Amino acid sequence: MLVSYISSARERFMAITSENKQRLKSRLAKAIGHLNAVHKMVDDERYCIDVLTQLKAVQSALDKTAQLMLHQHLNTCVVEAVKADDSKRVMDELWQLLRKSSDGEEDQLEPNPIAKLKKCCGENPTWGIASNKESR
């Protein structure tokens, strides 16, 4: 069963199936387990490389969770927003998400450069690739 993802303009919910919800929760539980192991390793004053290896496992579990969540979002929320002619909002949301660096700070990039484009990518700009006319 798919859960509604929009209740109002300010409050949104996750569009998710029961199966994907369980997959997300399972991945999060794995990350929590790894993080608890790191906490214990620090208490036990374990060797630095062992702790760092366990931290990499935490990060990997979180990265896989984020990938699953992004895939779900693209296939549900973004598709529905595009159908409802609300693509600018979801593209801006994704742009803001992608601009955030791993330390939580936003990279110092110009606001969504894609929004400035006048034509479709197939017509212009060339995205730095010389056209057939230019390369001859």
The pLDDT of residue 64 is 92
Q: Of 116, 118, 98, 115, whose CA–CA distance to 107 is shortest?
A: 98
User: How far, rounded to the nearest angstrom, does the alpha carbon of residue 79 sit from its chain's CA centroid?
Assistant: 15
The pLDDT of residue 98 is 85
Q: To which residue do tokens 């798919």 refer? A: 2
pTM flag (> 0.85): no
Lowest mean pLDDT among 9-13, 23-27, 74-78, 106-110: 106-110
| Span between the terminal Cα atoms of the chain, in Å | 55
Q: Cα separations (Å) of 74 from 53, 79, 101, 135?
A: 31, 7, 20, 36
Rg of the chain's alpha carbons, rounded to an integer?
Answer: 21
CATH architecture of 18-135: Up-down Bundle (1.20)
- Give domain limits for the chain: 18-135
